[in-house]
Structures are given as C-alpha cells and as structure tokens.
Chains A and B, each alone.
Chain A
Amino acid sequence: MTLRLAGEAGQGVESGGAGFAQALSHGGLWLHTYTEYMSRIRGGLNFFQIRVSDHPLWSHTEGTNILVAFSPEAVRDYGPHIVPGGALLHDEGLKFDHDAVARRGTQLFPMPLTKIAQEVGGNKIMMNTAGLGALAGIIEYPFEFVADVIKKNFKRKGDAVVEGNLKVAAEGYRIAQERYAASFDWKVSPLDARPHRMLINGNQALSVGAIAAGCRFMSGYPMTPASSILEFMASHARKYDIVVKQTEDEIAAICMAIGAGNAGARAMTATSGGGFSLMVEALGLAGMAEVPVVIVEAQRPGPSTGMPTKTEQGDLLFALFASQGEFPRIVLAPGTQEECFHAAARAFNLAEKWQCPVIVMTDFYLTTSMRTLLPSEFPIEHVTIDRGELLTSEQLDRLAGPYLRYKDTPSGISPRALPGHPKAVHQACSDEHDEYGHFEDEDAANRLKMAGKRMRKFRNIVEDLRAPTIYGPERAEVTLMGWGSSYGAMREAVDLLNARGVRANMLHFVDLWPFPEAKAAPLIEAARQLVAVEGNQTGQFAHLVRAMTGRRADRLVLRWDGRPLSPEYILATLEEAKVHA
C-alpha cells in the first residue's frame, strides 16, 4: 500500500514522512519513498509518499491508499490519486469540498489534530505528529515503533519536546484507531524478521560510494537535485579526510576538481544540467589533458532552468557529446540506489585507469527516492581501489629515459606520475601537445599520433564496461529497454506483464558510453518487440541504440511531464499502443 503525506513547505511533510518511513523500516517492512516538492521554501505544495510491503520494492506506483492532507491544496491536487475505498485523513478544521471527495468513493477521516496538538502537547506545531500517530492508528501499526523514532529524532531538542510529541502521537493513535481502523481495509504489521536495513536515497548512496572509493576532494555549486551530495560530503569531510569546497560557479567547481585530480587526489563535482552546461569547456580540458575527474549529472527537466524540482532523463545525448572535439569519456547511469553506490565507486577507478572524465548520470527521482536495502548491498570495506598505471616513486627513481606524460602506448594509456617527483617534471596541456606535453598545435603527424592515442583508449575502455542487465524470462514477446533511473518501474512492469500472461523481459543499461556494442547488440537483436522506455520526449537512448546497432525500437514509452516513469504508466502506454493486444 501507499501512504502519502502532503501539505505546504514548512509543515514537516518531508521530515515527518521520513520519520514514519523509519518507523516502518524498523518493523522489517520494505519501502520505497518518493517525494515531490515545489521550488519554494514556504507555502506551495509538497508530498512525501511511502510505499510499504512485505517484500522488496523497486519503484513507486500510481495511486494512494491513504492521504494525510495538511492543506486544502493537498486535497484538491492529490485527492484524485486516492484509490477506491481509500481514505483521506485530515484535520477537522480543514476547509475543502467534502462532497467532491466523497463522490469519488473516498472515505473521509476527520481528526482533531490541531486540538490534540494544542491541548495535549501545548503547541500547534505538533499537529503533524498527531497526524502521524493517527495514520499509524488507522493502519494499526504498533505504536512502539512510532514512539521509538520520536524518541530518537527529537532527542536533540530535549526531554520536554520528546515527551510532548510522544503524548500527542499516542492520542492521535488512540482516537484514529477507535474511530476508523475498522473501516480501513489496509493494515501494516511488522514482520517477524527485522534485520537491520538501510533507508537511503540515490544521492546518499552515491556519496557513500564516493567516500568508499577514497574521494578526497569535492567541489560544487548548489543546484537541485545535486546539492545534497555536496552537503553530504561537507558533513562527512572531517571524518573521512575530504576537502569539500563550494565554489563561485560550476566552471570553478569542475576546474578545482580537475586541478585536484591532476595533482593526485581523487576528485569529483556534482551538478544538474544547467551547471553541467557551464562545465563543458573544462570537460574537454580533462579529455585533452587526460585528467581523471568524476562528474555527477543529476538531471532535471530542461531546457534552461526548466522544472527545478521535477524529474527527467533529458540530458543523455548532451552528456555523451558535450564539448568541442573528440575525446574519450565514460558515462554511467545507475538504475537504483545500490547501483548509485557501485557506480560511484567504479567511476573513480575508471577515471584513474583511463585518465579521462567519468560522468555519472542520475535524476531528481533517483536522487531523492529512498529504498530499504540490506547493508550487504553496500560492501564499503570491500570496494576495489584501482589507480591504474600510476607510477610509484620507486618506479620513477629507476626511470632511465625522460618521463613522457603523454607516451604513445598500445593501450593508449600513458603511465601517470604525480607532480612532485624530480624525475617526472612534466606538463599537462590543453593545446594539442607532443608526448612530453609541450605545445604542438601545428604539426599534422603529431596530431594524428596524439589524437590516435587518446581514441585508442576510447576503444579499449569498452572492455571494462558492462553489458546491460536482463530481467525476466528468455524468448520474451516484449522486451523493455531503458537506462538509469527507470530500472525500478520497468522491472515492476515486467512482473505485471508476466502476471497477466504476457511474456516480457527487460534490458537495462548502466554503462552507456563508450556504448558496449559487442555485449549489448546480440541482446538487442534478440528482442522480438523492442520497447524503449525513457523519461524524455524524444527517445534519446533509442536514437543511440539505433546509431550503434542499427536496431530501431518498435515502440517508445516516453514520459516528459516532469513525473517519473511508473509501472502503471508503462503498462497504460503499452496498452494504448496495443503492444500485447
């Protein structure tokens, strides 16, 4: 079932929702949370929804079983999302069109939330605590789990606040259970098995991956939905020996990371499409000067400022081809929170091994959605750290000839020496250069040699990249194909299709560029009906696949209204197109 809390910014929808999610997670339940907020600090309309189940979840779904509404707009906009037989829980004083809601078959559960907050807690502010208590009462989720989270989360604010909130929540719970539990069909009970699990979103998982990989330097400029990476890294800088720098703009952000990366610190920056646009010239510098740097591109709908707090996968081809000229880069697009962790950890290795920029693409949906995951999905202590062909000072001591920073080698990789060794005085260079790194921006033969060397890397990188993952039965009638954050929606859509008797499977790409053609082409060719599923308007990945393999997707399932792909959306679009009629 899905629970949704909605109200104005500042009404504690997000923090209350996250607390409730913790309470459910501690009961062993599996969650997927999804949040939408307006691009403003106070007022507006926000929601935080929790899908809860007794088995692992991959995606949000459309439809809400119970909506806790703290504002009239929340009822107006989200009331229609309530499923038949579902309920609207609200303060008894909230003004909205009761008849309109009742006409849709929604049950109304008015509660004296403000009154409880005031009379029991002594402060109106606790009304969302009353609401959460009431919510737990209606779904008959044991109060102790809610109480534990209140104790934990309000501890900092002192005993009086903890006591007040506990009393308010308990009163909300008691009244709501008494009045409404019997008429609400959906219940949530803790599971017997309650192993420790993590409740983590994409940006957090990616940051943990970066820390695990030994990221030592991060520079960034705030931009939704990437900012929380910079904030997470800043809050962990002291503990994990990381220099974190907010810069004057995104140009400086990538430039500082390039400076640090070239000097030997594992470095990254994170931004969204607008900031990435500013980074493009320096991206080319990292390509030309062969500097390892990791760039997170957390997409939101463009063009320009677009929809700052909504989601889209519209920057794919931009990320692949941004910058003048041709040079190797690597593009990864994790599909899930756990893949964010692994992609970040891999990105640092790939960047140092191939001495090139690595772009990790996510989007608003993935960065903000949390899932419950077993800690074993985050093997922090077991990540591999591979710095590639990095010469040690002993190797440099023994160096017979001059050190060639851009030595032409069969792999295209020129062994790297960090600045500071007497035998490795060298120049990194943004102009075309010779093997020493000195300007050689005229000579044709040198150009062929050096550009050839760089592109040799590009052709070899693909060996290090992974095939798409396959989910679902072989020899399917329908194959969904996607990349990045659509993984969960596609996977649940595949399950739904198979349950309905349609043999369906999916191909999901994390490693996008260089396109893993040899590994992917046979899988794509084997698809009977190939359906590209993407969160953009033009089917960018379908274009790429067609360019790389010649295979044209038979159908496109696209979404570009700022909302994430969901299993139901995919199914409805397929039905419209009569894909499995």
Chain B
Amino acid sequence: MKSLICQTLTVFRKETVAAARFKGAWLTMLMFSLTALSLTSFVFKGTATDSAILSAIYWIIIFFSAMTSVDRLFMEEEFSGTIQMLKVYGGAIPILFGKMLYGFLLLLILSIIITFLFVLLFDGNIPLENAVFFFANLILGVFGLSAAGAFLAALSASAKVKSGLFAVLMLPVMLPVLLPVTEVTTKIFEGVAFGVSALIPALLYDLVLMLASSLLFDYIWYDDL
C-alpha cells in the first residue's frame, strides 16, 4: 500500500514536470474553455437564462475541456515507445492512478477558473450557503470525468483494444457522472433547497469507477494475465 502511493506520486510528479516544460496540452485546454465561455456569454448576453441551460453550458464546457486533455494522457507513451518501458519497470495501477491524479488536479484548477469566470460573465447566483455544496459537487464531477477519461485513454493506448474505443465508450461511461452533477448544479443555480443526499449518486459512481478501473486495468495493460 505504501509503495503503491509512493509510485503513484512518482508518476504524478513526472506528469507535472513534463507539463510545466511543455505547455501545449494544458494551454489548449485553457484556451478552449475560455473561448467557449466567452462565446456563450456573448450569445446569452442580457437574456434571462434558465438555470437548467446555464448548468448544462457549465458542464458541457468542463466536459469538453476534460476531453481535450484526458485523451492525451497516454498519447506520449503510445507513440514513443515508453509504454513498454512502463510495462516492464512499473506496475499498471500506479501508472493509471498517477495519471488520474494529474488529470484530476489539472481539471480541478481549470474548473475553478471556469467557475469564477462563469459567475462573473453570467451574473451567476451561487447562493453563499450553497457554495460548499457547489464545490463538493464540482469535485465529484471533475473526479469522475478525469478518472473515466484516464481509464479510457489507457484502454485505447494498450495494444489489446483498438482506437475507436475511446470515442464509443465515452457516452456510457461519462453520462452517469455528468447527469447527477448537472442536476445538482441546476438546483443550486435555481436556489432550490436540497440535502447532502443529492451528492450520493455521483459519489457512488466515482467509487465504482475507481474500483472497476483498478480491477480491470491489470488485465488490460498486460497481455499475460
């Protein structure tokens, strides 16, 4: 357990170092979300926008930002042959978790930026008493998106399954996390009262994702099992 955490952090650190040096991946993500945000804010300028639409826009921007970065998570390994190096010298799970952690934190930082801009641009109303809920819900959603994304990216990088898979599996894997978090966000925008229990579906799904991907990944990553 201790070595798993240590190795996961090693992978995470390596991803961060590489990202600090080569800014392409996360800059694309940032510019994407800024463009999408400003576009929608211009279009909806001055119109009284429904909370459901606002929350859908909000999550669509986060979802697409996640996809622009997450499907690159294993790209370098896939094309440059470091994947075999990782297979021999590292275990499957720390690599998956390390990349998930990196993808998660990157997306979380971005989503926080998006959130502030969103509130600004749309004269948004996140009632202060719901701010904690809002961010808890955001974390659950972002975690689900990056965990699922990292797993799918790893799937398509491995030799066993081929490339179309990322695209095809996205819908069934992402929807169960996007639906509940968007619903909670709508309620918060509306100012409707609700309980903590509204967060449970996303939380459960996140746990299932983690568990399933860690169980499956060894089998997918290595050919010998």
Q: Do A and B form a real pair?
A: no
Chain A residues within 8 Å of B, Cβ to Cβ: none
Chain B residues within 8 Å of A, Cβ to Cβ: none
